């Protein structure tokens, strides 16, 4: 494999990645994008086909021998929305939804003239069709407000192996320590832990996998560790199933905002600011849905041959 990356800071620079597979080489265009540091490699599948995305995601996500990232996202035609997105994590597993990723998909579509100038668009995901309201400046999308849909609280639908109508501040034992978790699904399962200890001091590489693979979660789980700050905003670190610690998680921020309301730490129908390692997201939890607002950034574009 040969890889040459040149930043898009200057227009004459470019990125090329070469793979060899059975002597057959297919050229694919890609765009590296991030939302609050949650970075993926995006492929426009309106005019190209990406073979074996599971294996490709593993190869390209590797930071030393690949492009580096939290996975790959395919942008494809849809018969019920402006586009469809499929998410593949760094370990090759397919995710149902990515809040930071969907904002980047919205930016890709708008910036590349694929929305006919419309600033309200829809994107089909494995968690249903989502609506985005785009904020545009100088012909480029700067941020998006995403209707993420209703929060799911029923344990069997999350899923978490517990009884009852919901899981709010329920005890869970990890490494002989009792934590209190609130479980929410935003199309993917989340376990939210509010704690007094500074989340910056957590050894997340040690504790994260133990939550992810805990027997209470039959489909594994994303785990958010959260501090409530004096101004009412939330500071969060996240361990994502299939990717490990990421700098941000959109669905995790939504789940954290919902969990804060359920635990009396925030109010419904008000903006909740979530501080992540890669930036801030604004969450609003209503009786009908959860809204997420945040930026999206294009890093560079390039081509690969596989």
Q: What's the mean pLDDT in 157-174?
A: 98
**DSSP secondary-structure letter at 82?**
S
As a whole-number percent, the residues of the chain with pLDDT over 70 amount to: 92
Here the CATH number for the domain that contains residue 12 is 3.10.310.10
Q: For residues 35 and 247, give the distance between their C-alpha atoms in angstroms, rounded to a whole number.
A: 9
Do 177 and 60 share a structural domain? no
Are 119 and 240 members of one domain? no
CA distances from 28 to 73, 200, 280, 304 (A): 13, 39, 32, 5
Peptide bond into 174 cis (omega under 30): no
249 an active-site residue?
yes
Q: Which of 36, 45, 183, 249 is the catalytic position?
A: 249
Q: How far apart are CA 192 and CA 83, in angstroms?
A: 31
Q: How far apart are the C-alpha atoms of 149 and 157, rounded to whole Å?
A: 15
What is the average per-residue pLDDT within 146-156?
A: 98
85 and 31 fall within a common domain: yes
Q: Are residues 199 and 277 in the same domain?
A: yes
Q: What are phi and psi of 192, to 5 degrees?
A: -105, 125
Q: Write out pLDDT tens, residues 251-300.
A: 999 999 999 999 999 999 999 999 999 999 999 999 999 999 999 999 99
266 shares its domain with 184: yes
Q: What's the average model confidence in pLDDT over 144-166? A: 98
DSSP state of 21: B
Together in a domain, 92 and 118: yes
For range 161-177, the mean pLDDT: 97
Pairing relationship of beta strands 71-76 and 38-44 according to DSSP bridges = parallel
Peptide bond into 159 cis (omega under 30): yes
> Could you tell me if 134 and 176 lie in one domain?
no
For residues 44 and 113, is the Cβ–Cβ distance under 8 A? no
Q: Which of 124, 88, 94, 93 has the alpha carbon at shortest distance from 106?
A: 124
Query: Measured between alpha carbons, how far apart are the two ends of the chain, in Å?
Result: 9
Domain residue limits at 37? 2-146+295-305
Please report the pLDDT score of residue 4 as a whole number. 38
Residue 22 has pLDDT above 90, yes or no: no
Q: Tell me what the mean pLDDT of segment 54-77 comes to.
A: 97
CA distance 243 to 286: 29
Instruction: Examine the domain organization and report whether 223 and 245 are in the same domain.
Output: yes
Indicate if 132 and 216 belong to the same structural domain: no
Assess whether 138 and 178 both reside in one domain: no
Task: Report the residue count for the chain.
Answer: 306
Q: Over the stretch 221-258, which tens digit does the pLDDT of each residue have?
A: 999 999 999 999 999 999 999 999 999 999 999 999 99
- Long-range contact pairs involving 44-52 (C-beta distance under 8 Å, separation at least 24): 44/75, 44/108, 44/112, 45/74, 45/75, 45/76, 45/77, 46/75, 46/76, 46/77, 46/83, 46/114, 50/74, 51/26, 51/306
- Among candidates 54, 112, 109, 119, which has minimal Cα distance to 85? 109
Residues 176 and 135 in one domain: no
Task: Name residue, tokens 């501090």.
Answer: 227
Name the token pair of 284.
Answer: 């609003």
Q: Which of 180, 191, 99 is nearest to 153 (CA)?
A: 191
| 6-15, 32-41, 149-158, 293-302: range with lowest mean pLDDT | 6-15
Which residue from 298, 271, 300 is spatially nearest to 35, judged by alpha carbons? 298
| 261 catalytically annotated | no
Asked whether 283 and 36 are in contact (CB, 8 A), the reply is: no
Number of domains in the chain: 2
Same domain, 30 and 71: yes
Which residue in the list 98, 104, 183, 261 is annotated as catalytic?
A: 98
pTM equals: 0.88
């Amino acid at each position: 494999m040969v890889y040459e990356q040149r930043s898009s800071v200057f227009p004459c620079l470019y990125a090329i990645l070469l793979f060899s597979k059975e002597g057959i080489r297919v050229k694919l265009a890609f765009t590296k994008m991030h939302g609050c540091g949650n970075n993926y490699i995006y492929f426009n599948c309106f005019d190209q086909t990406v073979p074996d995305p599971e294996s490709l995601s593993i190869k390209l996500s590797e930071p030393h021998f690949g492009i580096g990232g939290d996975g790959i996202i395919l942008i494809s035609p849809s018969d019920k929305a402006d586009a469809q997105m499929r998410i593949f994590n760094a370990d090759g597993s397919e995710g149902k939804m990515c809040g930071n990723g969907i904002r980047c998909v919205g930016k890709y579509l708008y910036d590349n003239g694929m929305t006919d100038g419309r600033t309200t668009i829809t994107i089909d995901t494995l968690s249903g069709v989502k609506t985005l309201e785009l904020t545009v400046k100088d012909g480029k999308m700067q941020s998006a407000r995403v209707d993420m849909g209703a929060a799911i609280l029923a344990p069997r639908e999350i899923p978490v192996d517990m009884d009852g109508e919901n899981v709010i501040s329920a005890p869970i034992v990890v490494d002989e320590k009792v934590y209190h978790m609130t479980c929410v699904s935003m199309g993917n399962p989340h376990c939210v832990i509010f704690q007094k200890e500074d989340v910056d001091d957590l050894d997340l590489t040690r504790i994260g996998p133990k939550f992810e693979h805990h027997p209470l979660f039959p489909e594994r789980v994303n785990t958010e560790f959260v501090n409530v700050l004096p101004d009412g905003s939330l500071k969060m670190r996240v361990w994502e199933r299939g990717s490990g610690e990421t700098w941000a998680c959109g669905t995790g921020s939504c789940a954290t905002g919902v969990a804060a309301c359920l635990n009396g730490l925030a109010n419904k129908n008000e903006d909740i600011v979530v501080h992540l390692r890669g930036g801030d997201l604004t969450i609003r939890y209503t009786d009908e849905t959860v809204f997420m607002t945040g930026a999206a950034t294009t890093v560079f574009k390039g081509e690969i041959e596989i």
